Amino acid sequence: AQSVTQLDSQVPVFEEAPVELRCNYSSSVSVYLFWYVQYPNQGLQLLLKYLSGSTLVESINGFEAEFNKSQTSFHLRKPSVHISDTAEYFCAVSKSGATNKLIFGTGTLLAVQP
Amino acid sequence: DTEVTQTPKHLVMGMTNKKSLKCEQHMGHRAMYWYKQKAKKPPELMFVYSYEKLSINESVPSRFSPECPNSSLLNLHLHALQPEDSALYLCASSQEGSLPPTDTQYFGPGTRLTVL
């Protein structure tokens, strides 16, 4: 069975510092990887996704993630965070060959402090 | 327009009530989803509709009854719920819902349900 692991339930960081949110997946088949962000009292928004091609994917608000097949990881990074980045971040995987299902990790709360 | 709307935003109901949650999208998407999200937890898939047909039911209790009247609308009918059903109910849609599962799912803001 495939799964997604986000080891860090909460990551506190000071404003303008860099951050990395970790995501590892387990799967024996090709996967498609997503990062979603959930701001307080809101639904989920797609941040970025990896389907194929370049292993480094970027979002419009400065986040990037790198697909690493050998380490089965898809870590999310930002070189300098803002207070407004405070939110819950979910890594998710959908599996090639399966029906259209997203499997979410348990989420990481990014808490940006001034 | 990349918006999925959900009504109501908040709902409080008793265990004997019947209520419905509504979801709407006008992006021409042919797949729609219901998720349940408890506090501090990831969303859990409940149902998937693809081309207005139920394609996935994740063993959800029958007190939850989904309905897809047309390609833009998705309802979730609630009856005889339990207090543990209190959660944020999220609707999502994606373009195709078919294989391979590369579609981006667009989420609505959710309905926060409290069952007394």
Which residues of A fall within a CB distance of 8 Å from B40? 107
Q: How far apart are the first and last CA of chain B?
A: 36
* Predicted pLDDT at B19: 95
Reduced to 3 states, what is the DSSP secondary structure of residue A17? coil
Which value, in Å, is the radius of gyration of the alpha carbons in chain A?
14
A44 in contact with B at a CB cutoff of 8 Å? yes
Give the pLDDT confidence of B50-82 residue by residue, as tens digits: 889 998 888 899 999 999 999 899 999 999 999
Report, as an integer, the average pLDDT of A77-106.
Answer: 87
How close B108 comes to chain A (CA, Å)?
Answer: 5
* Predicted pLDDT at B60: 94
Give the pLDDT confidence of A44-74 residue by residue, as tens digits: 999 999 988 888 988 888 999 999 989 999 9
Quote the DSSP letter at residue A69.
Answer: T
Interface test with A, best of B107, B111, B112, B113 (most A CBs within 10 A): B107
CB contact under 8 A, A43 and B105: no
Pairing verdict, β A73-78 and A19-21: antiparallel
Give the pLDDT confidence of B14-41 residue by residue, as tens digits: 988 899 999 999 999 999 999 999 988 9
CA B51 to chain centre: 15
Token pair 């060959």 is found at A97
CB contact under 8 A, B100 and A96: yes
Considering only CB atoms, A44 lies closest to which of B43, B50, B101, namely B43
